[in-house]
Structure 1
Amino acid sequence: MTTKTSQGRFFEDYRLGETIAHAIPRTLSGGERALYHALYPSRFALTSSDEFARACGLPAAPLDGLIAFHTVFGKSVPDISLNAVANLGYGEGHFRRSVHPGDTLRAESEVIGLRQNSNGKSGVVWVRTSGRNQRDEVVLDYVRWVMVRKGDFDAPAPPPHIPTLAATVKAADLRVPKGLDFSAYDFGQAGEPYRWGDYAVGEMIDHVDGVTIEEAEHMMATRLWQNTARVHFDATLRPDGKRLIYGGHVISIARALSFNGLANVQLIVGLNAGAHANPCFAGDTVTAWSEVLDKAETAVPGVGALRLRLVARKGGAPFRLRGEDGTYLPEVLLDLDYWALVPN
């Protein structure tokens, strides 16, 4: 008997330096925006209103940058994380161009690191994934590292190679969308009066609100991004019989919750680091808090950048991240370090 189905790649199937072109390009539309706003309580004005965006110098409202991120991420799953144990982290992320309805995205990844785990049953794969539009322009790229199962425990381990990654994206490398102009920015329509100068390094913001994750919603979201990782759908893959929530679902919930206190933080332009600290499951109630890590001016007058830590948690007091031993507290779900643009 022959079979034409694929079990996906296992750790021993990766080779350092190889480039993997991911299948199934995706044309995005206003439907993705509507579904994104239905799944997450996202209210940022620049990605919600064409008229608001035009008043800020753009031709129309771009799609939320996380829509592009999830789309590109989903393209990579069948080749990178179909057999993943966990997605471990992110770094060196650049949001280089806005994505608008009608744009078609495709993705490819380069394997930049490999290390087998000591148990011989899995290993960590580092990839640099890029998403390109129909004009072959890179719209975003980032590094992520994933723990992947071995299919054959006896397969020899590759020589370990752990890539050296920059701790942060340099402020000078942040890309401001062409034409963006905040000189006529309407703070009333945006929802809050706070601008770049109103935030101080070290400031902590409790975003107050919470969202309880529903089983159907997280599976709908993961299907929306065409993310086929089995652990998000098949309850038989875990001993506890639970479906693991896609980490990007938690990112989007936390980002949407951050509107309360960061309503004018309009566009994500850099991803410095990120970790899914603990697993998330349906029934968990996600809340969020932020810390201002740094500030920078951009080359565009009136447009500033904030470097922010966004933490998602289930229960627990705000502003607590790690225990005395330096490890993440059990209620912490997400620790995300990113750059975003705000009127100055």
Structure 2
Amino acid sequence: MKRVQYLHYGASEELRLDEVTPPDVGQGQIRVQVRAAAANPMDWKIRRGEMQLLSGFRFPRGLGHDFAGVVEAVGPGVERLKEGDEVFGVTSIRQAGAFAEYVVADETNVGLKPPSISFEQAAASAIVSVTAWNALVEKARLSAGQSVLITGCLGGVGRAAVQIAHMRGANIVGSCSASGREEALALGVGEVVDYRAFDIASYQHRFDVIFDTAGALSLSQCGAMLKRRGMSLHIVPTFAKLIGCLLPSRHHLVFGNPTQQSLAGVAEALERGQLVPAIGRIVPLSGAISAVVELERTGFPKGKLVIVPM
């Protein structure tokens, strides 16, 4: 099979499209014939060696984590999924390797793909939607009538968060560039704020939940805008936030850890049309390296980069 991989942490020149043996399945794992995979900033941060303590030092190492496809083999202990199931999900940080014709993942990180949703849509929804679901549904328990601020509301996680918050009946304030105002309103944001002119003093004690997907706010800024029993959620872990969120407080770091509940919730929302991913570009596996390198250099387009191996 073909796989995008690298032999050392470092620059994009390390990436190569190689012919490799399909990976074996272990206890509790499945092997998936990949029909679509999606890129995230985490992919090149890991490749550059910025997350070595989490990603490990075993090489060659595949690139990519989000995928959708068809179960081709199951390992010992797998009970929920079977060969032929259409699925979507993520690999663990140490596994990786979704930019390939086949990928191995833990069964716990994979959910059934709704039949009405394309493989491309499912792959583009995986980690961003699970992260937003973990934050707003499982951690904050966001409910109808509550007020939520979502920074970076047109980014990958931000876009999913807006749709989930809208689905939950919350009142949404979202920050983005001024040029994205109409798009944010159409997505479901009730009040759009230009992030370059954001005045924290205007939002004193305004929000039940703050979801800082852009890493734009400090903990003290969040505290000033939260209601008495409100909480802030963060996915960009600066040193100050790591320390502040370790202490008992109303500030929390959120990671995209798939659970069967979050995957099922995302799948249902996709099927109902309440969660619609934005796909910016689709390329074949042969064009994956150049597309990922361009994306790393220029930043995300309006939508996800999706790679289609088959």
Is the TM value for this pair above 0.5?
no
TM-score by length of 2: 0.23
